[in-house]
Amino acid sequence: SAGAALLVAAGVSACSEVSVSAVDVPETFDVPLPVPPLAPSRVAADGTRTFRLTAQEGSTQFTPGVDTPTWGFDGDLLGPTLRAARGEKVAVEVRNDLPETTSVHWHGMHLPAAMDGGPHQSVEPGATWRPTWRIDQPAATLWYHPHPHGQTQEHVYRGLAGFFLLDDPAAPDVGLPTEYGVDDVPVVVQDRNVDRDGSLDMSGGELGVLGSLVTTNGVRGAHLPVTTQRVRLRLLNGSTARTYAFGFADDRRFLQVASDGGLLTEPLPTTRVQLSPGERAEVVVTASPGERVRLRSFPPDLGRVVAGFAMGAQDTFDVLELRAAPDLAPSPEVAPTLTTLEPMSAADADVTRTFELEDRSINGRRMDMDRVDVTAELGTTEVWEVRNRNAFPHSLHVHDVQMRVLDIDGEAPPAALAGAKDTVYLAPNRTYRLIMRFEDYADPDTPYMFHCHLLLHEDQGMMGQLVVVDPDDATGGQPPRGGDD
């Protein structure tokens, strides 16, 4: 077929695309949605809030009666929700009880590179890693997941992921639901394939694995009991490859109130929120007493993807049911203004860089742990012009910073992409101009990562290393942060 010919011309074996099966949606949504527990913490005399996480082996039934070996933090799958407030010092004791080296990256967090949990902060089996930093960014829905060199897809796919929620006690009340697990609910959506014998199947095509078993917080066919007029869902695409375009089965409008790095300036009335792997959105949905309505994934707008590359990526399927009680407690009205975001324009940029993403390389290079690809100066603002040169999707995640999208092929971004972003979907053959500022932390010896968040691509080398240096620091370094300061 013409599609197969194109794939071959593009250097992709057509047979890598055949293991596509449609999403297998359960008949009923009778399982109550599990809400990840809030991780316990202890607060030391100096105010440091310390959490403990253990990566361990476990087992999960994605299909009743079929045991699948999975990995989780403090459990069989996924992990507890870490939660901390702006200004707090936090520490995490990350213990690795797995038979393999892993790491834990705090996705979306602004923090020193040595605390970031990338491939240079690996945690050996039996070891404990103790990062510590101060929370210094707006309230947001962040997450954590492993980032071991070349193995990120596998470790996330096996089940290692959790939420890290940040609060800002100084921010005004803007009428968002806030009762964790009741009307403020984190929902991580993931897809997997499981073989007949229960083992996880990692085979996939150009994008990675597109799984037929789609879970919310680790289970298929879940429902969320709704007891209030409005519910806030903190949606995380924790899949390794699949992009979702979430909406409701009846196409109702809802409000998107936040993107990756925190609140949008104002609530965005919409019927869809599209998330590529690693992206988050907070939405507020209004329910009617007694109703049932499903959260559905519609075919995402991936841009001009050549047919064949996106096979299975355009399915429509339900992921979660909302079941409203006959009487709903009143919810506050969402304020018309949520926050203010400092305007950032290309005129503020000290440096402009170009990044060409193609196949598994960035600017023609694949990840090398011993090579620094970008050196940024502390206190400067940079514009990154990022182009996807392929006929299939990529995305760009930059550690340490929250970016803003200036424009896409010269046009202003849609409102959903106008807020703080740490992960940006890159449609085929388009150019995205992103702006970011490097502040607070410099360490000439420890790089941050920037990479495609399609985790297969990341593992295959679509990643670079970014070092932030302090031009005023004559010693070339600074003492590691954390401990007393």
The footprint of ligand C2O (CB under 6 A) covers 105, 107, 145, 147, 278, 397, 399, 449, 451, 453
| Residue position matching structure tokens 């300061």 | 485
Among residues 143 and 425, whose Cβ is nearest to Cu ion? 425
Dihedral angle over CA of 83, 84, 85, 89, nearest 10: -170
Q: Which residue is nearest to ligand C2O (CB)?
A: 107
In whole angstroms, give the CA distance from residue 128 to residue 105.
Answer: 14
Among residues 148 and 278, whose Cβ is nearest to ligand C2O? 278
Instruction: Give the HSE-up count for residue 169: Cα atoms under 13 Å, Cβ half-sphere.
Output: 7
The one segment of 157-165, 275-283, 316-324, 386-394 that binds Cu ion by CB under 5 A: 386-394
| Distances, alpha carbon 129 to alpha carbons 133, 143, 151, 382, in Å | 13, 18, 18, 32
By the rule CB under 5 A, 454 interacts with Cu ion: yes
386 bridge partner residues: 355, 432
Q: Which does 457 bind (CB under 5 to 8 A by kind): Cu ion, ligand C2O, none?
A: Cu ion
Residue selected from 374, 452, 466, 468 as contacting Cu ion according to rule CB under 5 A: 452
- Amino acid identity of residue 260, one-letter, is D
Q: Which does 397 bind (CB under 5 to 8 A by kind): ligand C2O, Cu ion, none?
A: ligand C2O
| Radius of gyration (C-alpha) of the chain in whole angstroms | 21
Q: How far apart are CB 396 and Cu ion at their closest, in Å?
A: 9
In whole angstroms, give the CA distance from residue 263 to residue 280.
Answer: 11
Q: Which does 421 bind (CB under 5 to 8 A by kind): Cu ion, ligand C2O, none?
A: none
Among residues 76 and 358, whose Cβ is nearest to Cu ion? 358
Q: Which does 451 bind (CB under 5 to 8 A by kind): Cu ion, ligand C2O, none?
A: ligand C2O
Residue 403 is classified by DSSP as B
Helix (H, G, I), strand (E, B) or coil at 346: helix
Among residues 422 and 470, whose Cβ is nearest to ligand C2O? 422
Identify the burial level of 61 via C-beta atoms within 10 angstroms of its C-beta, where 0-12 means exposed, 13-18 middle and 19 or more buried: middle
Number of chain residues interacting with Cu ion (CB under 5 A): 4
Q: Which does 404 bind (CB under 5 to 8 A by kind): Cu ion, ligand C2O, none?
A: none
Q: How far apart are CB 149 and ligand C2O at their closest, in Å?
A: 11
Question: Residues 299, 382: contact at Cβ < 8 Å?
Answer: no
Binding to Cu ion (CB under 5 A): which residues in 394-413? 394
Q: Which residues bind Cu ion (CB under 5 A)?
A: 394, 452, 454, 457
